[in-house]
Amino acid sequence: MEKKKYFDELNVFRALIIVWVVIGHSYDEASGITDFLPNFMRVYAYSFHMSAFFLLSGLLFCTKIKRIKTFSDAANTAWDRFKRLMVPYFVYTVITYILKFFFQDYANNQLSPHILTDVLLGINNPNGGLWFLHTLFVLSILAIFVCKVPLGISFIISAALKICSLLFVIDIPVISNICEYSVYFFAGLLLYKYYGAISSRFSKFIKGIAGKISVSAVSIVMIVCSFLFVYLTRDMQNDYFSVPITVFCIAAWYIASFAVCAFNLPKKAAMLIGNYGMDIYMLGYFVQIPIRVVLGSMFSAPYYLYTFLMFVFGLLAPIPISKYIIRRVPLFKALFLGDFPKKRMKNKNKKTV
C-alpha cells in the first residue's frame, strides 16, 4: 500500500455497513411479524454486514501488524487491542446486565445462568451485538501470533476453516466464530498490500463526470443484483451459496462507497456516520431497545412505526450523545469507546536536524 494513511471511501464504506447493522437491529424478531419486507431486509443485512466489518477491520489492522518487530511490540499491540475492544466489551456487558436484571419482563432474551463463563467465551451476552468485539479481539490476537507467517498462508488456512464451517456443524464457543469469520479478517490483512493502488485508480476515475456516472451506475446495478441473489437463495438450506453472495454484497457496497465519495453532500453525511461508526454500533442498542420496549411492548404501537423510529434514532442519536458527552470526557471515552490516551514518548536526547 502506498503511504497514504486515510482513505475516505473506507470511512464511507464503514458508514454504509453501519446503516445495515442498524437496519438489522431495528427489526424485532420476537414481534411475530411475518411480513415479507421486514424479514427480507433483516436477512439481507445479516447476509454480509458483519463479514464486511471483519474484512474492513483486517485491512485497517494490518498497519499495526507490520510494525511488530519484537516480542515486546507484539505484547504492546495485544494490550492495545484489549483496551480498544475488550474494555468496552466488559463495560457494556455490565451495563446491559444490570438493565436486563431489572427489566427482564421486557427482554427478548433472558439472562444466562452462566453469565461469567458465557461472557468470557463471547456467547449468550446480555447485549447480543457485543459478540463482534469479542471475536474481533480473538482474531486480532491470532493475527499477532502468526504475524511472521506469510499472509497468503494465513489466508489459505482461514479459508480452509471457512470450508469446514460449511461442511460441518461447529458449535464450539470461540472456535465457531473463528471458522466463520477469520477468512474475511485475513482477507483484509492480505488486501492491505494492494489497497493503495486499488484506491488510487478508483479515486482518479471518479474525478470526471463520466467516471462518476459510471461508478454510480455500476454500484446501483450490483446492489440490485445483490438483493436479487439474496432473495433467490433466502430459503435454501445449502450454505455454499452464502460465501459468494456475501462477497458480492461486500463488493457492491464497496463500489457504492466510491459513488458516494463522488458527490459532496452524500459524502459529508456518510463521513459523519463513518466517523462515529463504533459509537453508533455500541450506543445504538441503548437507544433502540427502549423504543421497542416503550412503544412496542408497553403501548403496542404499530410495528412499522416503532421499527422506523428504532432505525432513525438508533442511527442518529448516538452521534450527539458521543460528541457532546462521551468523547468530551476522557474516562467515558476510554470505557465506552476503548479510546485511551496515548502515551507521550519522552526523548530528552532527541537531536534536531
271-324 residue pLDDT tens: 999 999 999 999 999 999 999 999 988 999 999 999 999 999 999 999 999 999
Sorted by sequence, the CB contacts under 8 Å of residue 71 that are 6+ apart come out as none
pLDDT over 60 at 116, yes or no: yes
pLDDT over 90 at 13, yes or no: yes
Give me the residue label for grid cell 463526470.
209
Sorted by sequence, the CB contacts under 8 Å of residue 25 that are 6+ apart come out as 129, 284, 285, 288, 310, 314
Give me the residue label for grid cell 439472562.
111
125: left (phi over 0), alpha (psi -120 to 50) or beta: beta
Helices (H), the chain: 8-26, 36-46, 49-66, 71-81, 87-102, 115-121, 131-145, 151-167, 175-205, 209-233, 242-261, 264-275, 277-291, 303-316, 318-324, 330-337
pLDDT at 237: 60
pLDDT over 60 at 220, yes or no: yes
pLDDT over 60 at 241, yes or no: yes
pLDDT at 32: 72
Residue 136 is placed in which grid cell? 474481533
Distance, in Å, from the CA atom of 286 to the CA atom of 164, rounded to the nearest integer, reads: 36
Element (DSSP H or E) covering residue 242 = helix 242-261
Q: Give the three-class secondary structure for 89.
A: helix
pLDDT at 185: 98
pLDDT at 352: 34
Reported confidence tier of residue 234, pLDDT bands at 50, 70, 90: confident
**Mean pLDDT estimate for the chain:** 92
pLDDT over 50 at 351, yes or no: no
CA distances from 233 to 25, 169, 182 (A): 22, 20, 24
pLDDT at 309: 97
**DSSP letter, residue 35:** -
The neighbour count for residue 24, using CB atoms within 10 Å, is 19
pLDDT over 80 at 5, yes or no: no
Choice between 207 and 252, residue whose per-residue pLDDT is larger: 252
Residue 130 is placed in which grid cell? 457485543
137-163 residue pLDDT tens: 999 999 999 999 999 999 999 999 999
Rounded to an integer, the average pLDDT of 217-235 is 94
Nearest residue to 19 via CA among 335, 319, 339: 319
pLDDT at 238: 64
Contact 56, 10 (CB under 8 A): yes
Most confident of 29-33, 81-85, 164-168, 196-200: 81-85
Reported confidence tier of residue 29, pLDDT bands at 50, 70, 90: confident
Reported confidence tier of residue 2, pLDDT bands at 50, 70, 90: very low
Distance, in Å, from the CA atom of 43 to the CA atom of 241, rounded to the nearest integer, reads: 14
pLDDT at 154: 96
Contact 131, 109 (CB under 8 A): no
Distance, in Å, from the CA atom of 279 to the CA atom of 92, rounded to the nearest integer, reads: 12
pLDDT over 60 at 267, yes or no: yes
Rounded to an integer, the average pLDDT of 318-338 is 97
Contact 307, 26 (CB under 8 A): yes
Reported confidence tier of residue 240, pLDDT bands at 50, 70, 90: confident
Reported confidence tier of residue 106, pLDDT bands at 50, 70, 90: confident
120-130 in b/e form (b: 16+ CB < 10 A) is eebbbbbbebb
